[in-house]
Amino acid sequence: MGVSRKRRAVTQGREEGAQPRANLYDEVTRKIISELEAGRFPWVQPWDSSAAGGPGLPRNALTGRRYSGVNVLLLWGAAIEGGHASQHWLTFKQAMEAGGSVRKGEKGTTVVYADRFISEAEKARAVERGDDAKAVPFLKRFTVFNVAQCEGLREGLARDPVPLPEREIIPHAEALIEATGADIRIGGDKAYYSPSGDYIQVPPQPAFRDQINYYRTVFHELSHHSGAKHRLNRDLSGRFGSKPYAREELCAEISAAFICAALGIIPTVRHADYVGSWLGVLREDNRAIFRAASQASKAADYILAFAEGEEADAIGTERRIAA
């Protein structure tokens, strides 16, 4: 679904004004680090099949637009903390537009918006210099509320997807995997993407303790596959244990979670062996989680675009997470 990237966040949240960039980067990064240190994975879909909300990605209840990048992680975390089954969110103003209001005393959740702008003074200097004007990056924060925190909203405003029945084979996931055209080789006891050979190797589905995790694993490797130079051109040169390797693994983990959520798949797998390296990257660079989540949204968009119908609706309808 094509959506303009320009200032779409005004419909996603209430603007609270531009903030110092480092402060917001630090604030979000500290939140993600604290989740990992507590043994929680902010990108692992938190709902089980008995949850009223079911699987899916957070979206704005009024506009229907999906949140992307690091905002998905922040809203998933807020849903867990608040015990909200729904994954639909509104600004204070949007709740009133929908015929209701935010209940008194409810605490909102911060989401972020990143963009660049060119000041009039810089435009004038560029004309004088005869070169291109330089854009200045900025961050803003917005406050949103879960529909469960609101009252009086009109009926049918936020309908969550119905959870899939329990089964081993998920036809629409199979169809998406086939539609990508990736060279996927089934067999062996390891899962990986080979950049040199441009192929994916995964164990057969019956080899998985929980067969649903086959799909998360395939989408994890497809996320790596999307980063090839002739596709999304990410840095895939890192060796195991290196920081570039950890950054790419973080991207693929989050991307796989986004794809599974969009398809209504609820995996149980946890890649806890990478937590140490992820923490090292996040502690060293307060923008790392923003970059990883942004790249993850782009990778998920790329893969989901091969599907037809609802699943083809891109996750990243607003790619405004800082890179």
Q: Which residue has the higher pLDDT, 166 or 264?
A: 264
User: What is d(CA 141, CA 115) in angstroms, rounded to the nearest whole number?
Assistant: 12
Question: CA 214, CA 168: separation in Å to the nearest integer?
Answer: 9
pLDDT given at position 11 = 40
pLDDT band, residue 49 (cuts 50/70/90): very low
Report the relative pairing of strands 14-19 and 101-102 from DSSP bridges: unpaired
- For residue 134, CA distances in Å to 5, 22, 145, 278 come to 19, 20, 36, 33
Q: How many helices (H) and strands (E) does the chain have?
A: 9, 10
- Of 20-34, 96-110, 167-181, 253-267, the least confident: 20-34
Q: pLDDT value at position 293?
A: 93
pLDDT at 162: 54
Q: What is the mean pLDDT of residues 212-238?
A: 95
Give the separation between CA 142 and CA 164, rounded to whole angstroms.
33
pLDDT at 97 over 70: yes
- Whether the predicted pLDDT of 165 surpasses 60: no
pLDDT at 12: 43
CA distance 2 to 300: 15
Q: Is the model's pLDDT at 282 over the cut of 70? A: yes
CA dihedral 241, 243, 249, 250 (to 10 degrees): 130
Which pLDDT score is estimated for 134?
Answer: 84
CB contact at 8 A, 88 and 79:
no
- Confidence class of residue 169 from pLDDT cuts 50, 70 and 90? confident
Query: CA-to-CA distance for 245 and 266, rounded, in angstroms?
Result: 26
Locate the domains of the chain by residue range: 8-312
pLDDT of 231 strictly over 90: yes
Q: What percent of the chain has pLDDT over 70?
A: 79
The pLDDT of residue 208 is 83
Q: Tell me the pLDDT tens digit for each residue of 128-148.
A: 888 888 887 777 888 999 999
Query: Is 281 or 227 the better-scoring residue by pLDDT?
Result: 227
Q: Left if phi > 0, otherwise alpha if psi is -120 to 50, otherwise beta: which for 233? A: left
Q: Is the pLDDT of residue 15 over 70?
A: no
Mean pLDDT for 161-176 is 72
- What's the CA gap between 95 and 99, in Å, rounded? 7
Average pLDDT, the chain: 80
